[in-house]
Structure 1
Amino acid sequence: MSNPESPLLGYARPDGRWGFRNHILVLPLHQALSNAARDIADATPGAVAISHDWSGEIDNDFERITKTFAGFAGNPNIFTTVALTIGTDVEAGIIERAKKFSPIPLVEVKLADAGSMFKLVTTALEKVTELTEQAAAQSRTPAPWSSVVLGLECGGSDAYSGITANPALGIASDRFVEFGATSILAETMEILGAEHLLAARALDPKVGAQIIEVVARYERSINYEGIDIRGAQPSRGNIEGGLSTLEEKSLGAAKKAGNAPFTGVLEFADRPTAPGLYFMDTPGHDIEQLTGFAAADVNITVFTTGRGTPTGSAVIPTIKVATNSEMGLVLTDLIDLNAGTISDGTQTLEEVGQILFDEIVKVANGQLTKAEHGKHHEFNLSRLYGSTL
């Protein structure tokens, strides 16, 4: 049976990727320029910006950080990136790498050339204003199912996560993968104890072994500090939400990936090379994971939460799904969809899975999420143990 015709509308990029937003990203490549970037974006409808705490240090995380910046600058939801720089060789290297990664245009505005912070802001503001007008003039065109690169995320999990929102997301994810899209599960810490079940779904033994090794590698990186990560889970917030064991948390988190076979394993911020379901090695920290997703070409994310985590991205529309009605019906400024109706008995798991699938299509086609309305533009660089920071 053939797939139904795609109802998706997006922005075609020169390299075959698709965006579901057409942002101008103001990207500071030094922490001293973060305030300037936010001021520019706040003054220009259609522009977004991030903030961070990095000052160009070359340490054990240098490769991870520069790859993240370069990938983030080339996310397909971006029309053009305007990079604010001090004028260092490190920043020049990131820009060069970004241009190799992606054909998304990148314009640099240097503090060294501007001569003052005021002049930097006024010069960049002129460019950003011009670019937002160009972006607004670009129209959406019909996009194939393969245009979707879906990020699967959960945060503030509770006792309902594994029986409502997460398996409903799994149903939606399976359908997108079946139609030829890409879906990415992440948060290595969140699948501890369930990795063998995911590995059993791998397309081949090599991919299965990679899933097992990613988890084992993570545990080795923690254990050298004398930390029993399995004994430290679930977190306090999870326990307050009703989770009692690591197994309960991990099995519930894995439900986001549905039942599709795993096509491959990705390192942090690495891009998938073909459609299918992937596992990405990321921290369990919500904002770090979302940042890695953006650097890896994810163009839409679903974030399930039992505690109401208010996390969003500057460049990825992030759909918030409540696991329980008690929270979902109260935090209406944060939650896009309430999956608590499953446990309430008013809707079935399959019905909510279909509703969520339809919601993803609507958001891809331009419907703004609550996180977008609230301007939740969180960004956090992922750093590993052994960093000098």
Structure 2
Amino acid sequence: MEFMGFLRENGEVGVRNYVAVIPTVGCVNEAVEAIAGRVPGLKPLLHHQGCCMIPSDIEVVERTLIGLGSNPNVAAAIIIGLGCESVSIDRVADGIAREGKPVEALILQEAGGFSKVVAKGVEAARRCLEYAERFRRQAFDLSHLMIGIKCGSSDATSGIVSNPAVGLVADKIIDAGGTVIFGEVTEIIGAEHILVKRAESQAVANQIIKAVDDLENRIRSLGIDVRGSNPTPGNIRGGLSTLEEKSLGAVVKIGRRPINGVLDYGERPRGKGLYMMISPGREMEFLTGPVAGGAQLLIFTTGKGAPQGYPIAPVIKVCGNPDTVKRHSEHIDVDVSGVISGNETLEEAAEKIFEKLIKVASGEKTRAEILGYDKTMNIYVRGMIL
């Protein structure tokens, strides 16, 4: 089985061919938006981080921005800085350039203000787009694919239909030599004993336990219990009664292969296989993590209907709830509700998802891309804003 992708200078393969405009800090989001608004074909990556943060979070933000600009779906990148932020525009630009991509870096304060940096950004964008136009799709085997997997707005159907069907797809990608990233540590709580048994080594097992313990301890340090906010009211209306029940349904989406490692947020896998990324459950932060880690596509299961896409990586929405599929058909890419009605097996549902994955990897647009519901993102940080 093959897909049609874009070969990059570093040997990686993209499924989209974008020029990304990346702010180093939220203070220049308006400049980034203005540049993207004046030159069709750009992808702005607007976020609200980059300054007045503890050093460890600055490191995370820099690593994440480098990862986003280095993603195989990005042909070239324009970095816009303010000039006084904590994140280093030079480190971000250099990190992306090391992957063989053209990078142009502009600083608003040095350019002489908003209008001047936008004008310079427009010129840079035209140069980058001209470079991106040289790429053409070619055939590649599935070992070049890295996918992120998430569930959101989950209900009782998620753990018995869409998640296990996606798990079968994850196994298929890994067996073909590809890579799968999962995370959402909040939705591992109560099911970590299952994942530990699948760790390829005791060191990986210890990292899984530590990730869960660290999160629970952070929450307890605030004098609260995560179970007061998770499962969410929507999860409860959808039939999920406890966090443990939600977690047991969530972890089946990662299939049955060994877990090869635990990644920090936005970190790239060190090899092929299945990896857990330390990350939150909320969509806008989670989706950024695997994409910064190199994932070209994301599979997102939903029970109640979560419409989010992502700026530089297509998000395939899978749903097993027949009522949601009917009400929110404009957001659902793959309808697997036939498993509930008895009209299809989990294996048949998985094959539908896999076929859609290959089509999307080869250029077919997802519902979120068609609707333009793919602009929101953010970066996960763990410390206070100073």
TM normalised by structure 1 equals 0.93
Q: 2:102 maps to which residue?
A: 105
In the alignment, structure 1 residue 23 sits paired with structure 2 residue 40:
no
Report if the CA contact (8 A) 1:38-1:50 is conserved: no
Report if the CA contact (8 A) 2:24-2:79 is conserved: yes
Residue of structure 2 aligned with 1:245, choices 239, 242, 258 = 242
In the alignment, structure 1 residue 150 sits paired with structure 2 residue 147:
yes
Q: 2:73 maps to which residue?
A: 77
- What is the identity, as a one-letter code, of the residue corresponding to 2:138? T
- What is the identity, as a one-letter code, of the residue corresponding to 2:143? S
CA distance in 2, matches of 1:72, 1:388: 23
Deviation, 1:203, is: 1.6
- What is the identity, as a one-letter code, of the residue corresponding to 1:54? Q
Deviation, 1:232, is: 4.2
CA distance in 2, matches of 1:343, 1:136: 45
CA distance in 1, matches of 2:131, 2:96: 20
Residue of structure 2 aligned with 1:383, choices 375, 381, 384 = 381
3-state SS of 1:192 partner: coil
Cα deviation, 1:206-240, whole Å, max 9, x if unaligned, reads: 21222122111111111111122245432211001
Deviation, 1:341, is: 1.8
Cα deviation, 1:120-158, whole Å, max 9, x if unaligned, reads: 212211221332233233101222222111100111100
Q: 2:189 maps to which residue?
A: 192
Report if the CA contact (8 A) 2:189-2:247 is conserved: yes
3-state SS of 1:25 partner: strand
In the alignment, structure 1 residue 87 sits paired with structure 2 residue 98:
no
For structure 2, which runs of at least 5 residues remain unmatched after alignment? none
Q: 1:320 maps to which residue?
A: 317
Cα deviation, 1:55-101, whole Å, max 9, x if unaligned, reads: 52242522222222222121111000111122347433442552376
3-state SS of 2:235 partner: helix
Deviation, 1:301, is: 0.3
CA distance in 2, matches of 1:247, 1:58: 33
In the alignment, structure 1 residue 291 sits paired with structure 2 residue 288:
yes
Q: 2:9 maps to which residue?
A: 14
CA distance in 2, matches of 1:125, 1:100: 20
CA distance in 2, matches of 1:225, 1:93: 36
Question: What pairs up with 1:119-268 in 2 under 5 angstroms?
Answer: 119-230=116-227, 232-268=229-265
Report if the CA contact (8 A) 2:143-2:178 is conserved: yes
Report if the CA contact (8 A) 1:7-1:142 is conserved: yes
3-state SS of 1:163 partner: helix
3-state SS of 1:87 partner: coil
Report if the CA contact (8 A) 2:261-2:276 is conserved: yes
Deviation, 1:333, is: 2.2
3-state SS of 1:247 partner: helix
3-state SS of 1:54 partner: coil
3-state SS of 2:353 partner: helix
Deviation, 1:160, is: 0.4
Report if the CA contact (8 A) 1:156-1:307 is conserved: yes
- What is the identity, as a one-letter code, of the residue corresponding to 1:267? D
Report if the CA contact (8 A) 2:7-2:135 is conserved: no
3-state SS of 1:367 partner: coil
Report if the CA contact (8 A) 2:168-2:255 is conserved: yes
Residue of structure 2 aligned with 1:33, choices 8, 28, 32 = 28
- What is the identity, as a one-letter code, of the residue corresponding to 2:247? S
Deviation, 1:281, is: 0.9
Cα deviation, 1:320-369, whole Å, max 9, x if unaligned, reads: 11231211122222111112221122211110101101111110111111
Cα deviation, 1:21-69, whole Å, max 9, x if unaligned, reads: 1100011223232122123223333211022223522425222222222
Report if the CA contact (8 A) 1:26-1:84 is conserved: yes
CA distance in 1, matches of 2:58, 2:131: 34
- What is the identity, as a one-letter code, of the residue corresponding to 2:37? D
Deviation, 1:118, is: 1.6
Aligned residues: 383
CA distance in 2, matches of 1:22, 1:129: 15
Question: How much identity, in percent, do the aligned residues show?
Answer: 36
Cα deviation, 1:258-302, whole Å, max 9, x if unaligned, reads: 111111111111100111011111011111111111211111000
Question: What pairs up with 1:344-359 in 2 under 5 angstroms?
Answer: 344-359=341-356
Report if the CA contact (8 A) 1:328-1:337 is conserved: no
CA separation of 1:204/1:30 partners in 2, compared to 1, >3 Å: closer, same or farther? closer
CA distance in 1, matches of 2:235, 2:229: 11
CA distance in 2, matches of 1:240, 1:97: 48
The RMSD of aligned alpha carbons is 1.8
CA separation of 1:104/1:329 partners in 2, compared to 1, >3 Å: closer, same or farther? farther
CA distance in 2, matches of 1:279, 1:286: 16
CA distance in 2, matches of 1:228, 1:101: 43
- What is the identity, as a one-letter code, of the residue corresponding to 2:29? S
Q: 2:43 maps to which residue?
A: 48
